[in-house]
Structure 1
Amino acid sequence: MAKQPMLKFVTVQRDMPEKRGPEVRREDFHEIYAEFADAKAAEQAARCSQCGVPYCQSHCPLHNNIPDWLRMTATGRLKEAYELSQETNTFPEICGRICPQDRLCEGNCVIEQSGHGTVTIGAVEKYITDTAFEEGWVEDIVPASERPESVGIIGAGPGGLAAADRLRRAGVQVTVYDRYDRSGGLMTYGIPGFKLEKDIVMRRNAQLEKGGVEFVLNCNVGEDITFQEIREKHDAVLLATGVYKTRDLGGPGSGSAGIVRAIDYLTASNRASFGDDVPEHADGSLWAEGKRVVVIGGGDTAMDCVRTAIRQGATSVKCLYRRDRANMPGSQREVANAEEEGVEFVWMAAPKGFKGDPVSGVVVQRMRLGQPDATGRRSPEPIEGEEYTEDADLVIKALGFEPEDLPTLWGEEELPVTRWGTVKADFRTGATDMDGVYAVGDIVRGASLVVWAIKDGRDAADAIIERFNAAAADIAAE
């Protein structure tokens, strides 16, 4: 009888790739996890129970065929594992690094629920595609035949790039317009290198460019080119702009110098990692060295900010969040990494105002959890008379992002938007009420995850191809 290659969770403990010590990793912006060795990846993949109803797969937005590529990894069929992984996910090596697996696939693993510790799905996913690149298994984008139709994509983030990849593989002509000088969106300029090293993103950008995707960078729609000009130039247009407007803080002193937006702070840091000249680092306005840093917010962007400040040599780094640890939106794994690196979390605390200009302190209001709100989460409410001042030389606002006013920015009042400012689009196809215009990712969902943007981009690309095929069939039938 052949030896059972899977179901090793009873005898093999969960094990992550080796993590560099906090005293070492806080000195640089390199990724904190090492790569799995081949034997270790196979061993950890073999812990999968191959359950009949794979909750890991059903809780993945892309519905990745996780049990099958874990089995292939465990049995040494790594190239097949890569090919299967790539079928459902345009950028598996990126999702393996930055997806909150503890809230998605790993958090819903059957053996995790039974107390054996989840399969390290994200680490194996990352390992599979990194190995595929090293071994030369990742093939260039070469369409079987070229099509005459063209699509203009506004936004070079994960949603736009996932759509560009799928459209080009079908032979569609693709042009991507983006305001930044490098494509990748927040994967390039919003996520620090210790979570996603930039050569990983640039490698995918290069693959797309080599495959025939045209990039028009440093291009502000509404200024350098109008939305109507893009519509006239292409057979379909896909909006994948993301959401970049920062939710703001009120209160006395909120306009003081030294209170900055998370996106500005992280972009400056990531530009420096590329070797760009960053004036805001030179003048100290977006540089944490020697400063008492307070970050306000409890999401993954806040975690990126506190861990960046540690690496820049801040004297102290504190994170204020108005709820408790159990109710914060960010990844618990990221909170643990931040604590290891020296970040102090101040729970049940909200800013009420600011002292000094430049800022010298945050007036903190102590909070408690009251009754659940409409989402089911207990609402924070202030405790009367419980205030104090937290010293600060740099305050970073990481309160989340909202959509920009695209109809006004682009002079396109007919663009359909919701009362929240997001673009109205079909959640299955991305189609809007404007003929030939589609929208995907955060500009439709609101601030969300990279993996959801990838799914939306792939789905919209399929819908656009279906539209083109139907039009071609109608012409042929005439």
Structure 2
Amino acid sequence: MIYEITKDITYDRDMTPETLLPIMEDLKSKGARFLTISVKDVSETDVELMYHYEIEDHVENFHMVVPKDKPIQSITGVYIAAFIAENEAQDLFKVTFKDLAVDLGGKMLKDDISPSTLLKSATGSQPPIMRKLGKCREECPAMVNIPKYIREVETGDPTAAYNTILDRAPIPAILGRVCFAPCQEGCRQEQETKPIQIRLLKRSAADGFKELNGGLKREITCKAATGKKVAVIGGGPAGVGAAYHLGLLGHKVTLYERANTLGGAMAWGIPKYRLPKDVMNEELMARLDEVGAEVKLGVEVEDLDELMDGYDAGFLAIGADKCNSLRCEGEDSEGVLNFIDFLTAVNVRDETPDLGNKVIVIGGGNSAMDAARTAKRLGVEDVTVFYRRTQQEMPASLHEVQGAMEEGINFDFLSTQMKITPGKPLKVYFQAMVPGEPDESGRRRPVPVEGVGSTVEADTIISAIGYNVVVPASMGVEVDRRGRIAASETLKTNRDKIWAGGDAVFGPTSVIASLRDARIAASEIDKYLGGEGLDEAVADLSEFVTRQVDIDDLMGLPQANIPELFPDERVTSFIEFEQCLAKDLAVTEASRCWRCDWNE
């Protein structure tokens, strides 16, 4: 499973659990190359293990029979690459290995039936084996083929990598800058060393494509026109993603956006220092232009009955832009801003509001980090984030929190706002909290410490405790108890020929999750209109190559650092502070991949 076996000469040798490690150590000293482990049921109680090695001009197979109920000594202390085979043996044959150097769950590529595994059943017939996609791909909401595009970056082919990403996530240049990269938490190296910088490699692919092609727009061929018309309401990632996929499938798409710019929450909510608006606008329009979608900006749609008379199907991607209340006395005082209004003024209208010298930001999510870091760039000397839980329980990404701290932003944890007293300065009373029992989110519920608190003064207070959706009643779509659009697993609403997705259905999530919804909805709409839908994410064995790397050699390679401006430089302007990896560094980082999508 690790290397292609090319030697014709083989030798079979016996060993015992007691001689296992000494034999492995001897093989290692002789330069033997670990190939794989085969497992065979020999009885209800025993199992035979065969360890395969390539030694110079021949292959040696070491056999031993062991009881199923006794742990087997792992050889990962000698050959780290064996963790893959040992994990798979555990999963499929219920044997256990002790002293595993790496415990990675054995999750590999997924195929309905794998005809070429070296793991054999007692009868010799191949049992159906459910394989899993690479763990990084499993963790990606849009199921982007991450191992494939990492290989393409490594081989110096950004065009191929860009197109691979586009298949499931149509805006790689944007994602390479703003995605929170759940894939990196799934990377097998995350547990032992450092995960592959997958997000940075995505940006490398996009920036490399743009450099080679003079822009992000491609010349592509859509399917033959179906004669069907689809309305997409909303120009954020879910709306643009759905319009792109539907256009590829041959449908005529018209996208309606009430604002005068595309992007949705990406436009107003993600600061320019993270996502330059020229990059965002270019990539969004590139996708829409590629498929010939019509775009109508500054048009608000509330009456679906009137609109849908001219369309065969519709997709609602209206986003979420209602700020949650601070739920404290005095929150309507002059000088108290909500983060949506604040960030929109700066990010969309290019305003530079005077916030004074001291700003308080209330909240613990990424929106709070964006508001605080934006205030710092506007020249505010003292910016403090107040959050009612601990730092470990903040929903904001660790990268964003660390960035804020580097830029001199202060944090006050376990404090919740109780009362705002108007005036200049404003005064806020914060109640001290302690962690209590876990709530439905799994985080410890903050509990007030009676009689303990403090009053803090500020020139401006920015409320950033989340936001939600407002669905116009005139749309006639059913909503859930939170006021979000109610949709099925296929994202179908209660209304005929209407689907919905993104933040309007699931609440504020992420760009990559919205792109997942876009693809699901486009596929379901295509089926409704008589098409076959879009392909599911399955393991295509023709994609995979024999592992050409030795994990032992890769273990010591350092993770690429994120290229950033120094904190004292970046807080003085809104220029993009994170840079693209240099080409050679991107190739080196991609080469660290363990190739979890090997072909047996």
Q: What TM-score do the two structures reach when normalised by structure 1?
A: 0.80
Q: Summarize the Cα distance change of 1:145–1:51 in structure 2 as closer, same or farther, 3 Å threshold.
A: closer
Alpha-carbon offset, residue 75 of structure 1: 2.6
Contact 1:256 1:358 in 2 (8 A): no
SS in 1 for 2:530: helix
Alpha-carbon offset, residue 188 of structure 1: 1.4
- Structure-2 separation of matches of 1:141 and 1:179: 29
- Structure-2 separation of matches of 1:177 and 1:60: 28
Q: Which piece of structure 1 moves more, 315-324 or 414-423? A: 414-423
Q: How does 1:253-272 map to 2 (within 5 A)?
A: 253-272=330-349
Aligned twin of 2:139: 59
* Alignment partner of 2:202 out of 125, 132, 147: 125
1:174 partnered with 2:253:
yes
Q: How does 1:397-408 map to 2 (within 5 A)?
A: 397-407=463-473
Aligned twin of 2:183: 105
1:190 partnered with 2:269:
yes
Q: Summarize the Cα distance change of 1:82–1:424 in structure 2 as closer, same or farther, 3 Å threshold.
A: same
The letter of the residue matching 1:458 is R
The letter of the residue matching 2:155 is T
The letter of the residue matching 2:396 is G
* Alignment partner of 2:315 out of 235, 238, 262: 238
What 5-or-longer segments of structure 2 have no aligned partner?
A: 5-32, 34-106, 110-131, 533-600
1:449-470 CA distance string (max 9 Å, x none): 1111111011101111111116
Alpha-carbon offset, residue 69 of structure 1: 1.6
**Which aligned runs of 4 or more in structure 1 are off by greater than 4 angstroms?**
50-53
Alpha-carbon offset, residue 220 of structure 1: 2.1
Aligned twin of 1:449: 510
Alpha-carbon offset, residue 343 of structure 1: 0.4
- Structure-1 separation of matches of 2:525 and 2:252: 12
Higher strand share: 2
* Alignment partner of 2:498 out of 437, 442, 451: 437
1:248-293 CA distance string (max 9 Å, x none): 11222221011111011001111244xxxx4xx4xx4xx43x4311
Give the superposed CA RMSD. 2.2
Count of equivalent residues = 404
Contact 1:300 1:330 in 2 (8 A): yes
The letter of the residue matching 1:342 is G
1:313-366 CA distance string (max 9 Å, x none): 012100000001111101011000001111001111111111223551221111
1:293-318 CA distance string (max 9 Å, x none): 11110001001000000000012100
- Structure-2 separation of matches of 1:107 and 1:209: 32
Contact 1:250 1:353 in 2 (8 A): no
Alpha-carbon offset, residue 192 of structure 1: 0.4
- Structure-2 separation of matches of 1:85 and 1:60: 12
1:415 partnered with 2:493:
no
SS in 2 for 1:156: coil
SS in 1 for 2:244: helix
SS in 1 for 2:411: strand
Q: Summarize the Cα distance change of 1:176–1:316 in structure 2 as closer, same or farther, 3 Å threshold.
A: same
Contact 1:90 1:162 in 2 (8 A): yes
Q: How does 1:14-413 map to 2 (within 5 A)?
A: 54-101=134-181, 104-114=182-192, 116-136=193-213, 138-211=217-290, 212-222=292-302, 226-273=303-350, 278=351, 281=352, 284=353, 287-288=354-355, 290-357=356-423, 360-407=426-473, 411-412=474-475
Q: Summarize the Cα distance change of 1:470–1:132 in structure 2 as closer, same or farther, 3 Å threshold.
A: closer
Alpha-carbon offset, residue 76 of structure 1: 2.5
The letter of the residue matching 1:122 is R
- Structure-2 separation of matches of 1:403 and 1:359: 32
- Structure-2 separation of matches of 1:197 and 1:163: 23
SS in 1 for 2:348: helix
Q: Summarize the Cα distance change of 1:465–1:126 in structure 2 as closer, same or farther, 3 Å threshold.
A: same
Contact 1:295 1:395 in 2 (8 A): yes
The letter of the residue matching 2:175 is C
Q: Summarize the Cα distance change of 1:358–1:240 in structure 2 as closer, same or farther, 3 Å threshold.
A: farther
What 5-or-longer segments of structure 1 have no aligned partner?
A: 5-49, 472-478
- Structure-2 separation of matches of 1:315 and 1:163: 43
Contact 1:296 1:302 in 2 (8 A): yes
Contact 2:362 2:387 in 1 (8 A): yes
Contact 2:173 2:283 in 1 (8 A): no
The letter of the residue matching 1:109 is C
SS in 2 for 1:466: helix
1:93-117 CA distance string (max 9 Å, x none): 212211112xx11122111101x11
Q: What TM-score do the two structures reach when normalised by structure 2?
A: 0.64
SS in 2 for 1:229: helix
Contact 1:295 1:397 in 2 (8 A): yes
Contact 1:362 1:389 in 2 (8 A): yes
Contact 1:95 1:126 in 2 (8 A): yes
Alpha-carbon offset, residue 388 of structure 1: 0.8
Provide the identity percentage.
33
- Structure-1 separation of matches of 2:197 and 2:108: 16
- Structure-2 separation of matches of 1:68 and 1:405: 39
Aligned twin of 1:19: none
The letter of the residue matching 1:106 is Q
1:390-433 CA distance string (max 9 Å, x none): 211111111111111422xxx24x41111111111123x21112
Higher alpha-carbon Rg: 2
SS in 1 for 2:196: coil
* Alignment partner of 1:458 out of 482, 501, 519: 519
Contact 2:174 2:283 in 1 (8 A): no
The letter of the residue matching 1:78 is P
SS in 2 for 1:469: coil
- Structure-2 separation of matches of 1:470 and 1:107: 36
The letter of the residue matching 2:409 is V
